[in-house]
Amino acid sequence: MPVLKRILVATDLSAAGRGAVMRAGQLAQQWEANLFLAHVRPDWNLFSRWRPASQDSYQDVARGCETSLRLTLAELESRFGIHARCESRLGKASPVIAALVAEIEPHLLVIGARGEHEACAPGPCLGGTAMKLLARVETPILLVRRDCAGRYASAMVAVDMPGALSRRAVLWGSGLVGNGDCTVLHAYDVPYVERMRLQEIDEAVIARRRKQSEEAATAIVRDLLGAAEGHAVLHASAVCGEPVSAVLAEIARAPADLLVIGKRESSGPRAQAGAMGGVGFRIAYHAPADVLVLPS
């Protein structure tokens, strides 16, 4: 099972931030984990840079944050029986949160997929702080999009090729849903089909290539099911298509509470430390569900 003994949740006290806090509280209760609550507010230089401001208004904001944090801690205690440790610091959000990750060494960082500045953006997206943390933090990150309504009941685990990262993704997905449903999905493509058609290759040959690709993808998924633990109801799915559109289409067709993906598709020499692969980033950006991003 995944290890969840220390959870760090960061909130900007927006509605999205509150959703992240409540999800972190639910997970801390489920896993009997220590919960650390972090809030980063701008110092005077940052605050005054973006809006006409007075010291009085700045102090009002500070007092409002303190009140909101007390109410948040009280709600965590009443709803989940959780006594969270609270850290309130000044500065820019992403570097401060990254520093807290280095200090606390959480097993999971929970944040809202978008913050107060992106609250009105249409459709699923990622806020600036979330994108910066994905690039710089090598800790599992849970991007929360939905209000917490109890434990996760269903998860979709999007896997690339067999390997440690894919197996770890299946482990997390199956562990977080408990007795719920966990679908392991591999989106595969059939290479060079259009090129073969341009060369007037017989359609029977192309059909055999499609069949071989489907059988290989199905074998990958079935092998990865062995990495699951717990009592989740497992489902195997191999779909043909471009990975981003195929994964998003599947989660739209069969909605899940949680999508689990790896941070990078490849650990080869061109993969940058800390960087997130383009496929994973686009899925995380557009997926309508909560997204758990696992580092390589």
pLDDT (tens digit per residue) in 232-264: 999 999 999 999 999 999 999 999 999 999 987
108: β partners: 7
Q: How many C-beta neighbours within 10 Å does residue 220 have?
A: 19
- pLDDT beyond 50 at 145: yes
Q: In 43-124, which ranges are E strands?
A: 85-90, 108-112
Q: Encoding tokens for residue 43?
A: 């110092």
Per residue in 84-97, pLDDT (tens digit) is 999 888 888 999 99
pLDDT at 271: 44
Q: How many C-beta neighbours within 10 Å does residue 54 have?
A: 9
87 φ/ψ angles, rounded to the nearest 5 degrees: -120, 120
Percent of all residues in the chain with a pLDDT value above 70, rounded to a whole number: 85
The sheet with strand 85-90 has its strands ordered as 85-90, 34-41, 6-10, 108-112, 141-144, 290-294, 258-262, 154-159, 181-188, 233-240
Rounded alpha-carbon distances, angstroms, from residue 136 to 22, 142, 191, 276: 24, 15, 33, 9
Domains in the chain: boundaries: 1-148, 151-296
123 φ/ψ angles, rounded to the nearest 5 degrees: 70, 175
- pLDDT beyond 90 at 284: yes
Residues 241, 210 contacting (CB under 8 angstroms): no
Rounded Cα distance between 16 and 118, Å, is: 10
Residues with Cβ within 8 Å of 66's Cβ and at least 6 positions away in sequence, in order, are: 88
Q: Write down the CATH superfamily of domain 1-148.
A: HUPs (3.40.50.620)
Rounded alpha-carbon distances, angstroms, from residue 106 to 98, 138, 219: 11, 11, 34
Which pTM does this prediction carry? 0.87
Q: How many C-beta neighbours within 10 Å does residue 120 have?
A: 7
- Asked which of 52-56, 86-90, 205-209, 277-281 is least confident by mean pLDDT, the reply is 52-56
Can you name the CATH fold of 151-296?
Rossmann fold (3.40.50)
195 pLDDT tier (thresholds 50, 70, 90) = confident
Rounded Cα distance between 148 and 22, Å, is: 6
Residues with Cβ within 8 Å of 15's Cβ and at least 6 positions away in sequence, in order, are: 119
- What is the C-alpha end-to-end distance of the chain, expressed in Å? 18
pLDDT at 273: 45
Could you tell me which of 80, 224, 237, 97 has the C-alpha nearest to residue 166? 224
* 109-113: average pLDDT: 96
Per residue in 3-47, pLDDT (tens digit) is 799 999 999 988 889 999 999 999 999 999 999 999 998 754 665
Residues 258, 224 contacting (CB under 8 angstroms): no
Q: Could you check whether 1-148 and 151-296 share the same CATH topology? A: yes
